[in-house]
Structure 1
């Protein structure tokens, strides 16, 4: 009997969304087909390099809401989450805390051509307790 997918996590790197957001599109389509809820998450740095950002939780939360508004996910219940810290660790931690059934994420940083699988995706695949669907750009 196939496993039911009720909750999907899709981490997005808001700094690279102008380049690629294929994983988000794939996650939305999967959630629509499976009737699953979708968590869209972004991970902000612990120490913000941009001195114009005074409250990174609020800033990245607003950016995440703008992204979802520009790319609506019709008919899906969505939770937006902003975390701080190391991206690969926060994705695995969030998936564990929320008991996620599936993580859908990009393969690599679009600027890095030398990796077969990006270091973040590789860590998540290795350490996540759930299935991980890696989307190649």
Structure 2
């Protein structure tokens, strides 16, 4: 069982949250394990858009994302005393890898869709994380988004 699990969550794909979180709870140490629910605002990752966005956007996004992550934790009855909520900005795969390193995660549990023709030429977030993570990565195959 794992003690320190990072769970990246895409806030818009609500129908898949349950399967993702149940997968994380399956590998979590039930007594002492900690789950970090994690979301990335990727709007600043795109150089063409970044100069247009201002400080208020970052603050507003983070506030709303933390609220939604808190609601998700409550809705799925996660052990709230062992849940951390984290929001970062940037390229999703890079932020997942950096957060996993920063928190010394021993596992990442993340969602991925079935591969499409395009994913054979452009790596998906899950593929990039699997390739570069220093810890175990569990990929929960989800319904098409």
Normalising by structure 1, we get a TM-score of 0.79
Task: Please provide the CA RMSD for this pair.
Answer: 2.7
Confirm or deny: 8 A CA contact 2:74 2:80 kept in the other structure.
no
Residues 9 and 39 in structure 2, CA contact (< 8 A), matched pair in contact too: yes
* Residues 1:97 and 2:102 are matched in the alignment: yes
Paired residue total? 128
- 1:41 paired residue number: 38
1:84: Cα distance to partner?
1.0
Task: Give the corresponding residue for 2:20.
Answer: 23
Q: Deviations over 1:61-88 (max 9, x none)?
A: 1111112121111476111101111111
Contact 1:11 1:104 in 2 (8 A): yes
Q: What is the rounded CA distance, in whole Å, between the counterparts of 1:43 and 1:95 in structure 2?
A: 13
**Where do 5+ consecutive residues of structure 1 fail to align?**
none
Aligned in 2, Cα 1:66/1:35: closer, same or farther, shift over 3 Å? same
**What is the match of residue 13 of structure 1?**
10
Q: 1:1-137, aligned counterparts within 5 Å? A: 5-18=2-15, 20-21=16-17, 22-33=19-30, 35-47=32-44, 54=57, 55-74=60-79, 77-108=82-113, 113-114=116-117, 115=119, 119-137=124-142
Q: Deviations over 1:30-50 (max 9, x none)?
A: 2254741111111113449xx
- Normalization by structure 2: what TM-score? 0.75
- Structure 2: stretches of 5+ with no match in the other structure: none
